[in-house]
Structure 1
Amino acid sequence: MSADMAMEPDSVVLTAHPLQRVGAFALASLAGMAGPGELRGDVFQSAVDAMTRDLLATTTAARASDPAGFWLSASYLLWPNSKLNPTARGKQSPPERESLIKEWRSRPAPADWLRAPCAYCGRGACGWYGKVDIPLGASVAHRNTTARGQDGTPLCYACVACLWAFPYGASLSGGRAAVIHSWDDELLAALTRDAVERTKRDAVAGAAMAGKPGPYARELWVMSAVRAYSGLRVRAGLELLVLSNSNKEQLLATQELSQPVAQWLRTTVRDSDRRAGYPVLLAAQASRQVPGEAFLAKRLFARPAQVMDFAVGHLMDRVSETGLVPPETLKLAPLVNSYCIEVLTMDDKDVERVKELARRLAALLGRDSRPGPFRDFIRANSRGGNLHGWFRSKGVDWLLFPRPEGTAPVLLPVAEYRLLFEDDRSWSWRRLLVFAVLEALAEAGWEPKGSREELDEIKDLAGAAGSDREEEGER
């Protein structure tokens, strides 16, 4: 922060407070500016006045559900007991409501400013603030939460204006506010700008906020926003903050979408091969109750390893339906392979070792069209299967029978053995192996041919192997 800005009260300074940062970019968007650094003097005041006008539009609304009641409805979540929604509001005339709102949002006179620094930016504070203006802040009536002689938290007018502005950059639904925050300012600016436009449209349309969001709707909002981001690179992770400042519920829940996940999501739009496989990945994540896109968003936040588990499980489900290697395996390959390296941070050399092992196994299993070897491989990879014993048996076959030219004489070298049986993430390596074998068999165009009974047995075993993903995911 420059010395000039430190002395200029009508300028916005970014601080370490996530809601203040979101509010700063929201205020810039309301002013039609590229960023908070341009919010000075009259430009800053015009953005604050625009927010005040939005609140004044509620003065004619009898109820929060009225067309002009969007911000009145939001105020019970954001600013309980404020001068926008007093207990006696029903007895007040529109002019009385207007007077109270203007009083609340007006700038304190310089003569009344405090001799204390702003708790956020360190500049001179203009007043004491509490729960009405600071989400989840303590009420100014609770003197035991502040030092002697202080009636709340000291804030400058610019910082408190940012707190008033953050709801414009939020998703307001289900009685809660959801906010996307990132330390990547370029990303935060773009996502907040999109959120402000949506909030403004909802306010004009009088969209209700009482409706319950769909499954994992907030996580899906973040994922969709990241995929729609036009920047070249995501340089920091994202936080999803869900909060309620209402008198009925005091809530703050946070989740993090890591930078590798966010950047990988961007590639599912930019890279043509990954983009082609994305619908298959979504289908792999779905359940009877939850759409695949919503479940993918939730898993990317909470349990990224589950994404690969469910992708492999989906292919096993397809095998269980047909007894054949599903053709969508090849579409999924660019996504699964990149996900293992870029998100799950599997070493690319180890991934290549497993893929090379899969090619040897595919050569072994695809030697003829008998379904028996393929069936045994699936059984060995199901919960309770003896994969170690299967490798011991097939290692002998690999030595005794002709091998493809240029392949190693050892079916399971020591490095691959350690990944599959001794590594902390052995289950993930085994899931990758199953996928890579299906990928190699699909590339070769191999199909098992046998009796109805043999194919049905493959289906049953594949169904059991596919269900393992849920057990593993809940561990």
Structure 2
Amino acid sequence: MTDVLNQCGQVWLTASPLQRVGAFALAALAKVSHPDRLGVDAFTAAVDMMTRHLLATADVAKAADAGGFWLGASYMLWPNSKINPTARGKQSPGQRRELIAEWRALPESATWPDVPCAYCDRPACKWFGKVDIPLGASAEHRNTTAPGHEGTPLCYPCVASLWAFPYGASLSGGRVAAIHSWDDAFLAPVTRLAVKRTLAKAQAPAVRTKAQPSWYARELAVLEAVRSYDQRIRAGVELIVLSNSNKEQLLRVQEMEQPVAEWLRSTTTRSDRRAGYRVLVAAQASKSASGEAFLAKRAFEDPAAVLHRTTAYLLGRFSAKGAVSAEVSGLAPLTYSYCIEVLMMDEKDVARLKGLAVRLAALLGQDSRPGPFGGFMRANAKGGDLYGWFRTQSVQWLLKTRPAGMSRILLPVEDYRLLFDDERAWSHRRLLVFAVMEALVEAGWQPMGSAEELEDVSEAAESFAVEEGN
């Protein structure tokens, strides 16, 4: 084996995310920091370890029995392979061990197909199919391959990486979930932790009852991995969920883009952002899922919704308390940085919206009644006439006493374009509502009015929050 592996070279990282995760899993099994540190002896030891794990299932009758972890996992990873053939119940433990060892052995070099590996272009050692390649075509389906091909050609280090892939993933609910990134420095520790957890789960006593998975648990695992990383994240982070079973062929890939991942990481490393993270999480919660779970979901699917839900949450707090929540001040560093770093708003545009918010707070704050603030919320909600509201309020701004140094123009042309003639107009409006609340808190404004007036404003706030949805 040593001569053959020296000929093939070491484990290389390729363009396949599954192979990359598997390569780092091999490194973790061999207790080295990176796949390029896998010498022949370490590589061989890691492959032998994986084979021993499969051989241990030979004495297990059912997957639910003690020691049946990899037998159970094999049905969604390697269906109809030598570990779980249809005739398994009729085989002796010795026969099972013989077949598993044969399956995972390095083919004799004389039998190699004389074609390059599909992943790395080194000499392939065999044609492979579904039982070795997650979601690969069966080697028996000749009409899915080019003439003369009997599956997908792979070298031994690459196929061994695919065998190691499940170790670097989470196996639960009949599906495999893996975290991948093109940032190798991030992928390495994330995969090491996954390997540690998988090995511990494989050795744990079999669980007879299936626990109900929490909402967005896989997305939440990515959020936790990103926030626990202590270096800058230099690439997007992918969540890969798949099943290779005969019952369900599934592949779903979601990407948390690099700016989102790096910003989320900063909420643990920067003190000015750590302070508001708890409130940000609370703002994302719903009756069905925790705030962090929904934050994770939105970080993948709709980053702008994080801002929208935060604004809606603060208005909901106004509805409950009859006053603008002081929490808005603690959220300010998070919110503005999120708009600039994640939503890619121009810093000058954010500054303009904050300046407009100060003028609006000065206008609304001249009236201790809550009604004017409620009118602003209604105008800013979907279906509201924000332009008409500004037209009316601009007249009031001219007639009322303005704080010294403030412009006579309430809504300059540049601000108008941000709110009504920009592709991010809806997010700009959400940010404006947030900034107005912040400015009112800083000005010490406390609404005074009858119970009916406060209830009317509360209804407007609740309506605004409901429109943002989940």
TM over 0.5: yes
1:360-439 pair list within 5 angstroms = 360-439=359-438
For each residue in 1:349-390, what CA deviation from the matched residue of structure 2 results, as whole angstroms up to 9, or x when unmatched? 001100110011111111242223222222222232221122
CA change 1:92–1:22 in 2 (3 A) is: same
- Tell me, in whole angstroms, the C-alpha distance in 1 between the residues paired with 2:414 and 2:5: 59
Amino acid at match of 1:324: A
Q: CA deviation at 1:73?
A: 0.6
Amino acid at match of 1:309: H
Contact 1:118/1:155 (CA < 8 Å) preserved in 2?
A: yes
Contact 2:175/2:242 (CA < 8 Å) preserved in 1?
A: yes
Q: CA deviation at 1:5?
A: 12
Amino acid at match of 1:11: Q
Q: CA deviation at 1:149?
A: 2.5
For each residue in 1:231-258, what CA deviation from the matched residue of structure 2 results, as whole angstroms up to 9, or x when unmatched? 2x11000111111110111111111110
Q: CA deviation at 1:260?
A: 0.3
Q: Which residue of 1 aligns with 2:71?
A: 72
Contact 1:419/1:429 (CA < 8 Å) preserved in 2?
A: yes
Q: Which residue of 2 aligns with 1:196?
A: 195
Q: Which residue of 1 aligns with 2:357?
A: 358
CA change 1:449–1:350 in 2 (3 A) is: same
Q: CA deviation at 1:81?
A: 0.6
- Count of residues in Structure 1 that have an aligned counterpart in Structure 2: 467
Aligned residues with identical type, % of pairs: 62
SS of 1:361's equivalent in the other structure is helix
Contiguous gaps of at least 5 residues in structure 2 = none
Q: CA deviation at 1:6?
A: 10
For each residue in 1:335-358, what CA deviation from the matched residue of structure 2 results, as whole angstroms up to 9, or x when unmatched? 111111111101110011001100
- Tell me, in whole angstroms, the C-alpha distance in 2 between the residues paired with 1:148 and 1:451: 83
Amino acid at match of 1:226: V
Q: Which residue of 2 aligns with 1:150?
A: 149
Q: Which residue of 2 aligns with 1:117?
A: 116
Q: Which residue of 2 aligns with 1:230?
A: 230
For each residue in 1:306-334, what CA deviation from the matched residue of structure 2 results, as whole angstroms up to 9, or x when unmatched? 11111111111111112210121112211
SS of 2:8's equivalent in the other structure is coil
Q: Which residue of 2 aligns with 1:174?
A: 173
- Tell me, in whole angstroms, the C-alpha distance in 1 between the residues paired with 2:287 and 2:335: 23
- Tell me, in whole angstroms, the C-alpha distance in 2 between the residues paired with 1:394 and 1:241: 51
Contact 2:4/2:109 (CA < 8 Å) preserved in 1?
A: no
Contact 1:170/1:178 (CA < 8 Å) preserved in 2?
A: yes
Contact 2:419/2:429 (CA < 8 Å) preserved in 1?
A: yes
Q: CA deviation at 1:278?
A: 1.1
Amino acid at match of 2:265: R
SS of 1:159's equivalent in the other structure is helix
Contiguous gaps of at least 5 residues in structure 1 = none
Contact 2:70/2:202 (CA < 8 Å) preserved in 1?
A: yes
SS of 1:201's equivalent in the other structure is helix
CA change 1:386–1:108 in 2 (3 A) is: same
SS of 1:132's equivalent in the other structure is coil
TM-score (norm 1): 0.95
Q: RMSD over aligned Cα, in angstroms? A: 1.7
Q: Which residue of 1 aligns with 2:459?
A: 460
Are 1:89 and 2:84 matched, yes or no? no
Amino acid at match of 2:43: F
- Tell me, in whole angstroms, the C-alpha distance in 2 between the residues paired with 1:321 and 1:383: 22
Q: Which residue of 1 aligns with 2:317?
A: 318
Amino acid at match of 1:214: S
Contact 2:81/2:131 (CA < 8 Å) preserved in 1?
A: yes
For each residue in 1:146-200, what CA deviation from the matched residue of structure 2 results, as whole angstroms up to 9, or x when unmatched? 2232211111110000000000011111101011111111111111111111111
- Tell me, in whole angstroms, the C-alpha distance in 1 between the residues paired with 2:213 and 2:57: 25
SS of 1:385's equivalent in the other structure is coil
Q: Which residue of 2 aligns with 1:37?
A: 36
Contact 1:237/1:259 (CA < 8 Å) preserved in 2?
A: yes
For each residue in 1:207-238, what CA deviation from the matched residue of structure 2 results, as whole angstroms up to 9, or x when unmatched? 5596552211111111111111122x110001
Structure 1 residues 363-372 or 351-360, which shifts more?
363-372
CA change 1:242–1:212 in 2 (3 A) is: farther
Q: Which residue of 2 aligns with 1:100?
A: 99
SS of 1:299's equivalent in the other structure is helix
- Tell me, in whole angstroms, the C-alpha distance in 2 between the residues paired with 1:17 and 1:44: 19
- Tell me, in whole angstroms, the C-alpha distance in 2 between the residues paired with 1:377 and 1:155: 64
Contact 1:69/1:206 (CA < 8 Å) preserved in 2?
A: no
Are 1:217 and 2:233 matched, yes or no? no
CA change 1:212–1:117 in 2 (3 A) is: farther
- Tell me, in whole angstroms, the C-alpha distance in 2 between the residues paired with 1:461 and 1:292: 24
